[in-house]
Amino acid sequence: MMGKKVAVLGAGVMGRGITHVCAAGGFDVTMYDIESALLEKSIDTIASNLQKGVTLGKLEAAERTAALQRIKYSTDLAKATAEVDLVIEAIPEDLELKQKVFSELDKLCLAHTIFASNTSSMSITEIASVVGKPERTIGLHFFNPVHMMKLVEIVCGLETSEKTFKNCEEMCRKMGKITVKINEFPGFVTTRINALIGNEAFNMLQEGLGSPEDIDMAVKLGLNHPMGPFEMVDLVGLDTRLNILQYLHKTLGDKYRPAPLMVKYVKAGRLGRKVGKGIYDYKEKQVK
């Protein structure tokens, strides 16, 4: 039977979007973060994105109000997760951190609660290895911006049960998503391809092939991609992309070695849209 209550861990780029689609899909959702300031900021982001939906005629004003009323915010992990049917983790892409949080969930949640990770690349089997019931652990890979992107890659680890998969498939459908079933391998489908394209764009910039604007334009108009690789990495976050590449490099080999220029940008704190500056400067410059 499909669950009704969800907890989302992490109030960052992805956690906010996942909370939005859960609430809009009719689920009672509690958003948890260690930083209360980020939770407060999330309320505004979600309210404003739902409002855009009303303006565009995608939902009624009353549906927006009802969705906002279904969301609770908490900095207490035990309270946020005690009664939920599904936990969706969207904290930073760091295996040790994710495992630490999942092992805590094991002690806090109901026996039937499904543990999902929004990891972009990491092994669900490895994350699940710290959990008492790995058959209830799964990957739900949402895309950014979550309220606009249709796909969820549902990633099954070695021990994930068919019942867990079916439950998640049904819940994602209720959130308005289309799903694909992926058998776990580092980077799944989309992250592997995207990481290579994005990394190659940094290598090209480093080699002086062209400006970021021209490389983005070439990929958009020549390959029919909706976004250029630099627009995309600014949206994803350069630190998130670097973590992913480092993990794929370690697990799948040299093809995924991060471009030194990307490492330099991350060291400089140019992490993308979330800080106002990445490849492009969002404070001063209108991106083409």
Please list, residue by residue across 201-222, b when 16 or more beta carbons sit within 10 angstroms of its beta carbon and e when fewer do. bbebbeeeeeebbebbebbbee
Q: For residue 268, which of 283, 281, 278 has the smallest C-alpha distance?
A: 278
Helices 238-252 and 190-207: angle between axes, nearest 10 degrees = 110
Q: To the nearest whole angstrom, how small is the minimum distance from the Cβ of residue 14 to ligand NAD?
A: 3
Site for ligand NAD in 188-227 (CB under 6 A): none
CB of 157 closer than 8 Å to CB of 182: no
Which of 13, 27, 163, 40 lies closest to 83, judged by CA?
27
Task: Give whichever of 118 and 167 is closer to ligand NAD, judged by the CB atom.
Answer: 118
Nearer to ligand NAD by Cβ, of 179 and 240: the residue is 240
Count residues binding ligand NAD (CB under 6 A).
Answer: 26
Site for ligand NAD in 67-96 (CB under 6 A): 90-93
Q: Which residues contact 55 (CB under 8 A, 6 or more apart)?
A: none
Closest CB to ligand NAD among residues 23, 195: 195
Q: 173 is written with which tokens? A: 């459908």
The mark string for 96-115 relative to ligand NAD (x by CB under 6 A, - otherwise) is: -x---x--------------
Q: How far apart are CA 273 and CA 128, in angstroms?
A: 32
- 153 binds ligand NAD per the rule CB under 6 A: no
Nearer to ligand NAD, 59 or 182 (CB): 182
Residues 3, 111: Cα–Cα separation, whole Å: 13
Count Cα atoms within 13 angstroms, Cβ side, for 192: 13
The CB-nearest residue to ligand NAD is 12
Residue partners of 31: CB distance under 8 A and separation at least 6 = 7, 8, 11, 15, 16, 19, 39, 42, 71, 72, 73, 74, 80
Distance CA 35, CA 16 (A): 14
Is 236 a binding residue for ligand NAD by CB under 6 A? The answer is yes
> Least distance from C-beta 78 to ligand NAD, angstroms?
12
Q: How far is the CB of 104 from ligand NAD (least distance, A)?
A: 9
User: Which of 49, 81, 113, 120 touches ligand NAD by CB under 6 A?
Assistant: 120
Q: Which C-beta is closer to ligand NAD: that of 178 or that of 221?
A: 178
| Residue with smaller CB distance to ligand NAD, 54 or 82 | 82
Per-residue binding letters, 2-41, with ligand NAD (x by CB under 6 A):
-------xxxxxxx----------------xxxx--x---
Binding site for ligand NAD (CB under 6 A): 9-15, 32-35, 38, 90-93, 97, 101, 118-120, 143-144, 236-237, 240
